[in-house]
Structures are given as structure tokens and as C-alpha cells.
Structure 1
Amino acid sequence: MCAGDDPTCHAFEEHRRRFRRDLEPERRAFLKSSFAATGAAAAFAAGGPSLVSPALAQASGAKIAATAHYHLPANAETVHWGFFSRSLKPKVEIGSGDFVTIETLTHQASDDAERMIQGDPGAESVYLWTKDKMGVSPRGAGALDAKIGPGGGQGVHICTGPVAMRGAEPGDVLEVRILDVAPRPCANPKYKGLAFGSNAAAWWGYHYNDLITGDKPREVVTIYEVDATGERDWARAVYSFRWPGFTDPFGVSHPTIDYPGLPVDHSKTQKTYEVLKGIRVPIRPHFGTMGVAPAEADRVNTIPPSYTGGNIDNWRIGKGATLYFPVAVPGALFSVGDPHASQGDSELCGTAIECSLTGTFQFILHKKADLPGTPLEALDFPMIETREDWVLSGFSYPNYLRDLGPDAQTAIFQKSSIDLAMRDAFRKMRQFLMHAKGLTEDEAISLMSVAVDFGITQVVDGNWGVHAVVKKAIFSDRVA
């Protein structure tokens, strides 16, 4: 359906006017609540303490002459599947302060095409796969002639973008504010008002070689239902099925879930209904994969996260959160995907509730020359800020592309550990407390033990993660 983004639609102008009209109240409300504009300058630190100091806000805001709002749909022309790349052509170029509404598709939608693809032109174009054609190819950062399919499945996430930030250069910091997140409604009229997601307990999950009942090992997919209207803040399981193995349209057999977008033939599955009966799963929509292009390689697998973000898989990256990314290549080249309806810390079995979402973002560029003396000076990892917390992301290897040499994209899957990720999170929090908050090393270590929460972000993405969360309120009586 055209949402003001399809010039070939016979009612394109009317749909475009409607999109802009519907957007204005939300945009005005956000501007009123979160910005105090003074000429070209804006105060970015609404809602309490921020990593953006008043001086940095003034400097960055002075470079904003006006703002625009763009809409980036998800279809076969606007997504890349399974990789980040410094060579990708931008789908839209924006200026600092601009807003972009970005549609994202889950890479697990083909687990139930009836509920997550059918009737949705964007999803249908991406998931198209016949014996003669793939809607989007390659799927992954691997070889184009890989045996299991172009790209080799070395990277599974459908990413929309990239979005190029005009004037962004290595050494700058890109601030990305998540203003809104909403489920992508099912386009099949049989399921009006609903959205759906898939959870795959798969071979890459932490549990896989530690099963205690039934056939071992096994992969099980559970389909969840979400209220797309927003009236119900929980999801329920609809049914589950054992992965029986499939032969794809190119004739390649897949005994396990080893390639993204495999068409699931439900005539060959045995569905189990009334799974998780009576259980409500609280939803917390967020984006598992979000980041800018790294500089170290031309095509980088989306699965392991790194210093430029990517597949962080932290449920805190949802509405109201702000992320700060170190810019590594000209234009930054921001992409987003891997949308989740909900996920627990660790993403234990391999996936979250993988559910297509649409997000509205604002992008602000902080130039390298304005960073000295601010908390963002020398930022070399993706940092999360919410209204109440600062969240630092530790990884087994902070920059595995640099640290592990020419075979890094293979080696990372054999070298990750929670111990390494914990040590990285500790070191980053120590540096943050000493540099941004002026604590001594001894003060920082004491505070970390009594007031900072360390948690396992994920153990399924190759480069395992531990996050450190510190409450802003801790510093409420401290003189800046």
C-alpha cells in the first residue's frame, strides 16, 4: 500500500499529503517537549542529564538551518540483506536535525508467510524467491556462489538503508534519537489489527547442545501474535513447529535454519497449538540491529556487533532511547533492521520475537572539532542513553575487525566469551565514570560494585555482549 512513498501510485499526491498531515501532530509535540529552539540552535538534552552538554548542543544546533522529514519504506529497492558496507549507495541523504521514518522487516517473516508477508507489497518484493529469481540477493556477506545461496547466509538481518548524513566524517559522532516504534500491521485481511513475529530456538542458540527432553538436538519455531493497534501491551504464542528441513526454490536442501528467508512449506510441518497457554509476554519493541558502516572491510556480516553498532540486541534500544555512534566512513551510512517485539537479556535460544516494525528517528551530527572536553570525546563504541540510564555496550572484542586480523569475520565465532565481554564493559564504565563524571579510579570501582548493573546482552551473535547500566539519578546532587 502506498504511504506517500510510491510515485507510480495513481493517488500518490493524496497519500503523500495524508502522510505529512498525520505526522505533524506527533512531530510538533516532540519538538515542543524536547527542543528549545533559539535561532538555529537547539537544546538536545531534554528530560534530564544527557551526554550532550549544553555547549555541545549549542555548537551542533548552530549548524542546523532547517529540518526535513523523510520516509524510507522497506522493499527490494531499499534494503540490503545480511551485511553492512562502506560501498552501499545511500537510499536517502539527510542533514543534521532531520527526521526519517524507516520501515524495517524481520528476516524471519517466511516462518509464517500467511501472517507476515502475504498482501504486503514491500515484504513480498523482499521475500520473492522462485527457481529463477530472488527479490533480494545476496543474503549475507559471503560469496555470491556459496552452496547454500548467494551471500552464504553469513549475515541474516534485513537492513533498511543506508541513510547518509551530509557532512559526516570519521571522528564525528552520530546521535540517533528513537522517537517512535510501531508494529507493522499484518496485511492479510484475515488478521486485521494484528501483527506477528517468530521466535526460532535454533542451532546457534546457547541452549542447543544442552537439551534434556525429546529428540536432541532440534530446532523449534514459535509464532507470536501482537496487537498492532497498540491497545494490548503483551504478546501471546499462537503455535509452534519443529523445523523439518526444506528444499529451497533453487533445489538446495536445508536440514537446519542455515540461510535467511527460507520459504517454509507448512504442509510439511506439524503445528502445536496452545503453546505457552495463559502466558502474556510483555512487549518492548526495539531494533536489534542498528548502526553505521565500519571502515575495516567492504562487506561486513551483520551478526557480530562491533564498535560501530550493528547487531547489539539490547531491548533498551526502543522508543525514547538515544544512541551515539562513532562515525567511521564519510556519510556515516546508517542502517537499521532486526526488529523485535520483545527480547530478554541474553536472547538465549537464538532469536527474539522477530517482528517487523516502523521507527521514526531524528539524526544529529556532532563534529569532531566540537567534542573535546565533552563525554562524547573519543567515543569508540555504540552508547545507549535512555531517560533514566546510561547503558554501555561491552563486547568480547570491541573492534573484532581490527583485533582479529584478515580472518576476523570467521574467527570471531570461535573466540567470544562472557569473561571478555564483561571485562570490556567494566573498562568502558570505568573510563566513563572517570572521564565524563570526574571520579577517581577508586571511586569508579566502588560505585560500579554498589550501583552499576552489569547484564548479559546476548550470547548468540558471535561477538558476545555484556552491558553496564548506571542510573542518571545517582549523580543528581553532584555539581557539574
Structure 2
Amino acid sequence: MSHAHSFHVSKDNKSSVHLKWDNSLAPTLTVDSGAEVSFDLLDGGYNQFTATSTAADVPNFQLALGDPAIGPVFINGAEPGDVLKVEFLDLKTAEFGWTAVFPSTLGFGLLHEEFPDPALKIWDLKTHASEGYTVFKEGIHVPIHPFLGVVGLAREEVGEFSTIPPYETGGNIDCRHITTGSTLYLPIKVKGALFSCGDGHAAQGDGEVCGTAIECQMKASVRLTVVKDKKYLKTPHYQTTPEHSVNQAKLTGKGEYVILGIDKDLREASRKALRGAIDWLEAEKGLTREEGYMLCSVCADLRISEIVDMPHYAVSCAVPLSVFVGAPYV
């Protein structure tokens, strides 16, 4: 069995960066089952924004470069029908991150047509990192909770598949609960599994509603282990730790303000819930609508509250009150 940090994949190795899932890609690294591998990752925008970027730079963003993955890693002994166990050992953010509202013409974000103008928030991830938060604006602190948006394996089908959507083999699953200490299980479809990852996030709400989280470059370490005899596993499964639950309890420790969206269409119910949260943040907290949209994307949670009482669905958008730490917000 390989030892900790005995393998490393760098973003500077251009051949390891890919924007498509393709089972014909040559492995950038080959390891045995149980190996620990560290990755030096680009952010979800291929590092197109810098710490000095502004909203004026957003229209120049190339969406075609979104969600770059680093890899693939070939795991010896991995065969179709097996499962890859991915243990997240360490996740370290860069010193800055960003959240963007893209022009509505891109069709990106749950309410994209209501936010026609570009916006960009650059986050300082260094100054208060030891205290576990980053500042949205004075009086509003967002807990830093790193995870990877893109974690996945090559698909069985021949050809190229975008890294932007999620698949049954993983990919851009954007699941904020899969953080340090968590374990992800992925169904293997090709020999060697061909594991890749990327798209570091410093924080995100369930839903990533404006289309971006706190996007950042990241250093990640994972353990990759082939598991046999889990034939029931057809899609990504994950397991969290008690520490994750404690962090969630801290985030919601002051309660939540929750808006319900009701509609016969699940997506439209989600839009109504989000729109209501932005209305509340504007009316009660004095945020601009763009600020409310971005704040919901990085810390508010969309949840299916009710799905059986047809013909209507109920979706909630929950804003954690713990992010409001000072005047004029408390």
C-alpha cells in the first residue's frame, strides 16, 4: 500500500488539466488501491479572475473554461462494477476567492433573467482564516467550509462529456457536505477508474443559486481505495462525520429565516423561495438584490420540504442567522 502524500498532481502539468470526461485520456498518474494523492487545483473558472478583478472583467469570462478537472489518476485493480472509495484527508483554500453573477445572456444562475448585469465579489480568505470565516461585508461573516465541486470518474460511454454537469459517476456534484473527513463512493465504469477532481469552494449554500460559490484555488489530499461487492451503488453516495454535523450546528446555531416557495413545478418553487429570500434580505437587512443573490448562493440552503401533496411542491430557502454578526444586521 502507498504511503501518505507519496503522489502529487500539479496544475502546472498542463496535460493533467482537462475540461471533458473522456475514458480515452491518458492517465497523468498510476497508483495502487489505498494510495494517498495530493492535488494542486485550479479554481472553477480556470483562474480567469485574480484578487484585483472587478465586475468589469466578468463579461470577458470564458464559460467554456469552466470547471477544469485535474487528472485522471489510474488506480490499479479498479474494474467496471467496483466502487472507488474517496476519503478527503485535507483541503486548503487559496488566499482569495470569488463569487460572480454572470450576464443574463449566459443563462447561468437560478434567477439569471432577473440579474442582467454582471457582478463580482472578491473574498479575502486569509485575514480571518484562523477564526474560520470570511467577511461578506462589515457585520456579515460567512464560515469557511472547504470542499471540491468536481470529483468524479470517467464515464463508460465513448467520447467527450462536459465537466460542468454532474453524472452518475460524479463530476460537478457541488455537494458542500463532502468536506474534510467525509467519504465519497463512486461507481467505477472503466478499468482503472480514471479519477479526477477540481473546482475548489471555500463555502457554498445547498443549491449554489447564483451559479457560483466562493470559488477558489485549492490544495487537496485524498485517499483512493477500490472496494468490491457494492453492486447496489449506482450513483454517488457519501458519508459525513460528527465534526461536519457540529459545523452545521454552529452555522445554524442562531436559527434560520426560511422562505417557502410553492408551485406545481419544482424548479419554479425553488425560484419563488429564492426570490423571497432576496426580498427579505433587501427589505429587512438592507442588502442590494445582487448582494442578496450572492449571499444566498454561498450560505443559504434550498431544500425540498414537501413533494407528495400534488399538484404542488414546497421548496424552502433557509438563510442562517449566524452570518449576521454586527450592526446594522443584528
Quick one: structure 1 residues 228 and 337, their matched pair in 2 at CA, closer, same or farther if it must change by over 3 Å?
Answer: farther
Contact 2:2 2:36 in 1 (8 A): no
Contact 1:196 1:223 in 2 (8 A): yes
TM-score, normalized by length of structure 1? 0.46
SS in 2 for 1:353: coil
Deviation (angstroms), 1:320:
0.6
Tell me the secondary structure at the aligned position of residue 112 of structure 1.
Answer: coil
- The one-letter code of the counterpart of 1:455 is R
The separation in 2 between residues aligned to 1:366 and 1:299, in whole angstroms, is 27
Which residue of the partner structure matches residue 278 of structure 2?
none
Name which structure has the greater RCO, CA cutoff 8 Å, separation 6+. Answer: 2
Specify the code of the residue in structure 2 equivalent to 1:387: T
Match of 2:69 among 134, 155, 159: 159
Partner residue, 1:366:
227
Higher percent of residues as strand? 2
Select 1:168's aligned residue among 78, 82, 95: 78
Q: 1:218 to 1:454 in 2, by over 3 A?
A: closer
Indicate if the aligned counterparts of 2:90 and 2:222 stay in contact, CA closer than 8 A.
Answer: yes
Q: How far 1:112 sits from its partner (Å)?
A: 1.9
Larger C-alpha radius of gyration, 1 or 2?
Answer: 1
Q: Letter of the 2:233 partner, please give it.
A: L
Structure 1 residue 222 and structure 2 residue 83: aligned?
no
Distance in 2, matches of 1:278 and 1:325, equals 40
Contact 2:51 2:122 in 1 (8 A): no
Which residue in the other structure is 1:177 paired with? 87
3-state SS, counterpart of residue 167 of structure 2? coil
Residue 110 (structure 2) aligns with: 206
Q: For residue 176 of structure 2, what is the amino acid of its counterpart?
A: W
User: Does the CA contact (< 8 Å) of 1:82 and 1:153 recur in 2?
Assistant: no
Q: Deviations 1:271-315 (Å, cap 9, x if unpaired)?
A: xxxxx3332111100001110011124211011101000011111
Correspondence for 2:32? 95
1:77 positional shift: 2.3
The answer as to 2:66 corresponding to 1:196 is no
How far, CA to CA, are the matches of 1:311 and 1:110 in structure 2? 19
Q: Which amino acid aligns with 1:98?
A: A
Secondary structure of the structure 1 residue equivalent to 2:193: coil
- Residue of structure 2 equivalent to 1:59: none
Is the 1:181–1:358 Cα contact (8 Å) retained in structure 2?
A: yes
Tell me: CA distance 1:310–1:389, structure 2 relative to 1, closer, same or farther (3 Å).
farther
Deviation at 1:80, TM superposition (A): 2.3
Q: Which residue is equivalent to 1:74? A: 11
Equivalent position to 2:22, from 57, 77, 85 = 85
CA contact (8 A) 1:284 1:341 kept: yes
Inter-CA distance 170–99: structure 2 relative to 1 (3 Å threshold): same
**Cα drift, residue 78 of structure 1:** 4.5
The answer to whether the 8 A contact 1:288-1:317 is kept is: no
CA contact (8 A) 1:197 1:356 kept: yes
**Once superposed, which parts of structure 1, at least 4 consecutive aligned residues long, lie more than 6 Å away?**
none
Give aligned-pair identity as a percent: 35
- Which residue is equivalent to 2:279? none
Per the alignment, residue 303 of structure 2 pairs with: 455
The answer as to whether partners of 2:206 and 2:302 remain within 8 angstroms in 1 is no
Q: Where do 1:276-355 residues align within 5 Å?
A: 276-355=137-216
TM-score (norm 2): 0.66
* Aligned mates of 1:224, 1:71 — CA distance in 2: 28
The corresponding residue for 1:110 is 48
State the secondary structure of the residue aligned to 1:110: coil
Structure 2 segments unaligned to the other structure (5+ residues): 54-59, 245-264, 271-300, 305-314, 316-330
Matches within 5 A, 1:32-71: 65=1, 67=3, 69-71=6-8
Amino acid at match of 1:221: L
Paired residue type of 2:22: S
Residue 218 of structure 1 and its aligned partner are, at CA, apart by 1.1
Cα distance, 1:455 vs. partner? 3.1
Q: What is the aligned counterpart of 1:231 among 130, 150, 153? A: 130
Q: CA RMSD in A?
A: 3.0
The answer to whether 1:383 aligns with 2:321 is no
Q: Is the alpha carbon distance of 1:66 and 1:318 closer, same or farther for their aligned partners in structure 2, counting shifts above 3 Å?
A: closer
* Distance in 1, Cα, partners of 2:171 & 2:153: 7
**Do the aligned partners of residues 336 and 229 (structure 1) sit closer, same or farther apart at CA in structure 2, a change above 3 Å counting?**
farther
Deviation of the 1:154 alpha carbon: 4.6
Question: C-alpha displacement at 1:157, in angstroms?
Answer: 1.1
Are the counterparts in 2 of residues 286 and 315 from structure 1 also a CA contact under 8 Å?
yes
Which range moves more in the overlay, 346-355 or 69-78?
69-78
Deviation of the 1:107 alpha carbon = 3.5
Distance in structure 2 (CA, Å) of the matches to 1:228 and 1:105: 21
Q: 1:113, CA displacement in angstroms?
A: 5.8
- Equivalent pairs counted in the alignment come to 242
| C-alpha distance in 2 between matches for 1:223 and 1:303 | 22
The DSSP-based 3-state class of the residue aligned with 1:352 is coil
SS at match of 1:101: strand
Deviates more, 1:154-163 or 1:299-308: 154-163
In the alignment, residue 48 of structure 2 is paired with which amino acid?
Answer: S
